[in-house]
Amino acid sequence: MRPLTYSRARDVDDALALVAAGPDSAFLAGGTTEVDLLRAGVSRSGHLVDINDLPLTAVEDRPDGGLHIGALARMNDVARAPGVVHRFPAISRALLQGASEQLRNMASLGGNLCQRTRCPYLRDGVSACNKREPGTGCAALDGPNRGHAVLGTSDHCIATHPSDVAVALVAFDAVVHTVGAAGARAIAADDFFLLPGETPEIEHPIGRDELIVGIDVPGTPIARNSVYLKFRDRQSYEFALVSVAAAIEVDAGIVTDVRLALGGVGTKPWRAWRAEAALVGGPATEAAFRRAAAVELADAVGREQNAFKIELAQRAAVRGLNQSLKGIRS
């Protein structure tokens, strides 16, 4: 049995000092990921710094039409905040389709962004996994890999990123705010998730002792028409095989603005930049949506069991764009 100690931070400075004091310290928010991984022997944390007394639970409408979400705001509180429901329905829907009612009452937004992949080879504690034990290989490459990624993969890792809300946050250019010993940083959500490359164990550009304090989402009218669709093996309490956050604005039949991001298919929440570029200035037709989705998935790498995701992701993107166009929320 490994020893585990616990302390409760009084404020942000206290949290930073406590976590910096131990080489194996980690922040504890809702604990719905960290405690699971400790039990499984995947997390090697030896000291937990509980941050739940920090004043980081606000969910506020910003004057520019955007949002400020405190890192400790709970998934359910964010999902049901009127400003989120009306200004960013895709964020609300993504949260409500994740986990369970009980988990959403515990789980924080900061913890959600830092959750680890659900790849079974990471979690079983024994299989080859470069994320858990760098240099051991990736058992998913030749093993059962139905749930794994087709975009952003490398020879070292094909695990998907599991968060739903991260997909919507990436679609709407959210910014993650952190503080650490070197000061405060603002990191674009798209840059907060790293591709695995040769170092899949490094998942974020922040240090172990850097605290997420909040997430800002800039105001944008297009988000009001946004949708989040999640396709999975069962309709609740399940991670996405494919998900899509989509929003589109059209003038006289021509696409003037569009946001598209995919979940369940990438090693990170996947902003569909190429599809967006293909759509803007062209006709808002189903044929155009299908062509744009094909452009985005052109470099996808399917394996024995997960190649179906390439077609499923394209259909999901088309459906998401159609629903946003027609004002169908879910």
Ligand X SMILES: Cc1cc2nc3c(=O)[nH]c(=O)nc-3n(C[C@H](O)[C@H](O)[C@H](O)COP(=O)(O)OP(=O)(O)OC[C@H]3O[C@@H](n4cnc5c(N)ncnc54)[C@H](O)[C@@H]3O)c2cc1C
- Positions touching ligand X (CB under 6 A) are 26-34, 36, 71, 98-99, 103, 106-108, 110-112, 114-115, 162-165, 211-212, 239
User: Using CA atoms, how far apart are residues 180 and 155, in angstroms rounded to an integer?
Assistant: 33
For the bound state, the minimum distance from the C-beta of residue 252 to ligand X, rounded and expressed in Å, comes to 38
Question: E strands within 204-273?
Answer: 211-217, 227-231, 242-251, 254-263, 270-271
Query: 87 or 93, CB closer to ligand X?
Result: 93
For the bound state, the minimum distance from the C-beta of residue 45 to ligand X, rounded and expressed in Å, comes to 7
Rg over alpha carbons for the chain, rounded to the nearest Å, is 19
Query: 32 or 255, CB closer to ligand X?
Result: 32
Query: DSSP 3-state assignment of 296?
Result: helix
Query: 92 or 248, CB closer to ligand X?
Result: 92
Query: 14 or 257, CB closer to ligand X?
Result: 14
Query: 75 or 293, CB closer to ligand X?
Result: 75
- Please, where are the H alpha helices in the chain? 12-21, 34-39, 75-80, 82-87, 89-96, 101-106, 109-114, 120-123, 165-171, 189-192, 273-279, 286-296, 308-326
Tell me which residue has its CB nearest to ligand X. Answer: 111
Query: 76 or 130, CB closer to ligand X?
Result: 76
Instruction: For 124-146, give the DSSP string.
Output: TSSS-BTTTSTTS-BGGGTS--T
Query: 121 or 239, CB closer to ligand X?
Result: 239
For the bound state, the minimum distance from the C-beta of residue 62 to ligand X, rounded and expressed in Å, comes to 20
Query: 17 or 250, CB closer to ligand X?
Result: 17
Q: How many residues does the chain have?
A: 330
Q: Would you say 259 and 249 are in contact if contact means Cβ atoms under 8 Å apart? A: no
For the bound state, the minimum distance from the C-beta of residue 208 to ligand X, rounded and expressed in Å, comes to 8
User: Using CA atoms, how far apart are residues 111 and 280, in angstroms rounded to an integer?
Assistant: 34
For the bound state, the minimum distance from the C-beta of residue 193 to ligand X, rounded and expressed in Å, comes to 13
User: Using CA atoms, how far apart are residues 50 and 9, in angstroms rounded to an integer?
Assistant: 6
For the bound state, the minimum distance from the C-beta of residue 266 to ligand X, rounded and expressed in Å, comes to 14
Pair type for strands 270-271 and 254-263? antiparallel
For the bound state, the minimum distance from the C-beta of residue 171 to ligand X, rounded and expressed in Å, comes to 14
Q: The tokens of 304 are what? A: 């024995």
For the bound state, the minimum distance from the C-beta of residue 313 to ligand X, rounded and expressed in Å, comes to 17
Q: Would you say 294 and 279 are in contact if contact means Cβ atoms under 8 Å apart? A: no
Could you give the dihedral angle defined by the CA atoms of residues 4, 47, 125 and 149, in that order, rounded to the nearest 10 degrees? 150
For the bound state, the minimum distance from the C-beta of residue 164 to ligand X, rounded and expressed in Å, comes to 4
Query: 49 or 312, CB closer to ligand X?
Result: 49
At 179, give phi and psi (nearest 5°). -130, 145
User: Using CA atoms, how far apart are residues 103 and 189, in angstroms rounded to an integer?
Assistant: 23
